[in-house]
Amino acid sequence: MKLTIIETGHVPASISADWPSYPAMFEALLAPHMPGLTVETVELYSGATLPAPANLEAILITGAAAGVYDDTPWMQPLFEFIRAAATAGMPQIGICFGHQAIAKALGAEVTKSDKGWGIGRHDYQIRARPDWLGDSAATRFALGVSHQDQVLSLPPGALTVAGSDFCPYAAIDYPSATAISFQGHPEYSPEFACALYAIRKGTILASDKVDAAGDSFSQPLDNNLVGKWMARFLSSHTS
């Protein structure tokens, strides 16, 4: 299967020499669960043109520093692309900004949360069990996060798969649009997340909150489990 990754942001320049790109992180996450997976990247943030969804097999939209409310030149074209993919029944996955972009494009309210920044390991309760969860007995899962914006409502026909008090719409299923999305980052290792927080420590992020976020990673993440779910979703909608 060929996965087209819409790259809406990049690893910050100050740490980019030490870490793979976001598309490479996603490929490493999914490849063990998807034999034969190939990946192509569309660098939307640097001006690349979005392809026609009907010509693709599957889509993944990454995280970004941008917000869905920003007047970024590629923002409205991205929303149109998401809606076109939904109309075509093209399987798509959104992560963090991608989660918010799919929700916004399909009719949800998305904005900065009055709860402030979410960083560190966040734990979510599973509230629905779509087929792509498979036979997993999990009732909760945990991912590393880095977000200030949140989805504040469900688009028509969408289903809340998981959430928490801090982030009620942390995983969403869109049955009629053939899409799923997660607010957390299954592609982030604890080490990468901490490197990302360190850039913002004492400026955007309070030092004590960054320290607490690092400590939270003493408990395990469920990146591999969420990667399996993503792979199962993609495989079930592609030949």
pLDDT tens digits, residue range 52-67? 999 999 999 999 999 9
pLDDT digits (tens, 9 = 90+) for 153-207: 999 999 999 999 999 999 999 999 999 999 999 999 999 999 999 999 999 999 9
Predicted confidence at residue 152, as pLDDT, reads 97
Place of tokens 């993919």: 85
Amino acid at 153: S
The whole domain housing 111 covers 2-236
Predicted confidence at residue 168, as pLDDT, reads 98
Is residue 239 very low, low, confident or very high in pLDDT (cuts 50, 70, 90)? Answer: low
The average confidence (pLDDT) of the chain is: 97
Q: Where are the beta strands (DSSP E) in 133-238?
A: 140-147, 149-151, 159-163, 171-174, 179-182
Helix segments in 31-107, DSSP class H: 75-88, 97-105
49: domain CATH number is 3.40.50.880
67 closest CA partner among 47, 108, 96: 96
Predicted confidence at residue 136, as pLDDT, reads 86
**Counted domains in the chain:** 1
